[in-house]
Amino acid sequence: MKEKKILKKYGIKTPAGEVATTPEEAAEIAERLNCEVVLKAQVLAGGRGLAGGVKFASNEEEAQKEAKTLFATEIKGLKVDEILVEEKLAIKKELYVSLMLNRAIKKPVMIGTTEGGMSIEKLADEKPEMISQIPLNPLVGVYAYHGMELFNRFDLSADLRKKLARLFVNLYKVFREKEAFLVEINPLVITEDDEVIAADCKLITDPEASYLKKGVSPRYISLEGDIGVLANGAGLTMTTMDVIKAYGGKPANFLEVGGDFYKRADEALEFLLTERKDLKGLIVNLFGAYARTDVIIRQVVDVLKERDIDIPVSFRIRGTGEEKAREIVETELNKKVHLNIEEAAKELLASV
């Protein structure tokens, strides 16, 4: 449902519908829609139709009955907590359209076929000739002629190809602005009155994109623990996380500020402290070579002083700029700087 709301904002038609959390809500939605409806189990699993996760109803009584069945069903081991109740479309034809990032050629690719409603992977195995693809230049983007070209080889009317061309222009806006790896409409329904409607949608975005937009290193991953980690270098960060776990703690994140990003460690730490207000402690582990530890520490200490955080912080610092970095921590924070990460971890975990 969330993906369909996004498509709608970009001018792509979707079926009218709402999400229900009880059979009674499903009946109320069906009554408001005042038409035949489709009930779709909202679970993070593909192939829900074949797994019994899609039902049809002609009125609100049937909608309530089918919803009750769905709520009692497990789809591929997943419990159904929500059901999308939406209008049943008068389907004349089902297409498949998508935009995906092709890592091999490092470009977005438009994909289309008139064989919608089935797995694109299965179609690629069984009928590869039915799939049309166009690699895109990301500096150029998508224009209407791309969509026309994509479906030229298929037996579609000129009017329909024009509609598909406009849809692809909007779909590319979704792909670009949502920092997507994949945006897929399957099926894209052509109704009896030749409307083009996205019946189902999949949107996979780059999890690192939000950090990039906020000026934070893309090398950030949020984890389930409560001990924050800030280090320079991926290997050093992983080692820090391993040591935390070895001494009974659980790392809350992976965040490294190596390379040229060491001059923006303050932004990274600000982001971490804003995103993870549940931290019980923080370990700063630095080894200076190209990245100067005193430059990183100056930023870290400024952030800690400005925020006046009330969680314990432990430091391990070695390498370029070590003496000055040590002096900053000891004089301004009145904290000990450790020579090895094991000591730093033990000190921190003993105080949380």
Report the CATH number that the domain containing residue 43 is assigned in CATH: 3.30.1490.20
Number of folded domains in the chain? 3
What is the mean predicted confidence (pLDDT) over 24-28? 96
Per-residue pLDDT tens digits for 123-164: 888 888 899 999 999 888 898 888 888 888 888 888 999 999
Give domain status of residue 1, yes or no.
Answer: no
First to last CA, the chain: 41
Its domain, for residue 72, covers 10-87
Task: State the CATH number of the domain containing residue 303.
Answer: 3.40.50.261
Give domain status of residue 242, yes or no.
Answer: yes
Of residues 182 and 215, more confidently modeled = 182
Give domain status of residue 4, yes or no.
Answer: no
Q: Does 227 lie in the same domain as 202? A: no
Does position 186 have pLDDT exceeding 60, yes or no?
yes
| Enzyme catalytic residues | 96, 184
Q: In the block, which residue shows the tokens 């912080």? A: 313
Domain boundary among 31, 54, 87: 87
Q: pLDDT tier at 54 (50, 70, 90 boundaries)?
A: very high
**335 phi and psi angles, rounded to 5 deg:** -120, 150
Domain boundary among 206, 225, 249: 206
CA dihedral 324, 328, 334, 339 (to 10 degrees): -40
Q: Does 238 lie in the same domain as 126? A: no
Q: Does 71 lie in the same domain as 15? A: yes
Give domain status of residue 161, yes or no.
Answer: yes
Does position 106 have pLDDT exceeding 80, yes or no?
yes
Cis amide bond preceding 207, omega within 30: no
Give domain status of residue 36, yes or no.
Answer: yes
Whether 45 and 29 have beta carbons less than 8 Å apart is answered as no
Q: Does 122 lie in the same domain as 74? A: no
The DSSP secondary-structure symbol of 191 reads E
Domain boundary among 155, 181, 206: 206
Give domain status of residue 5, yes or no.
Answer: no
Per-residue pLDDT tens digits for 64-104: 999 999 999 888 788 899 999 999 999 999 999 999 988 78
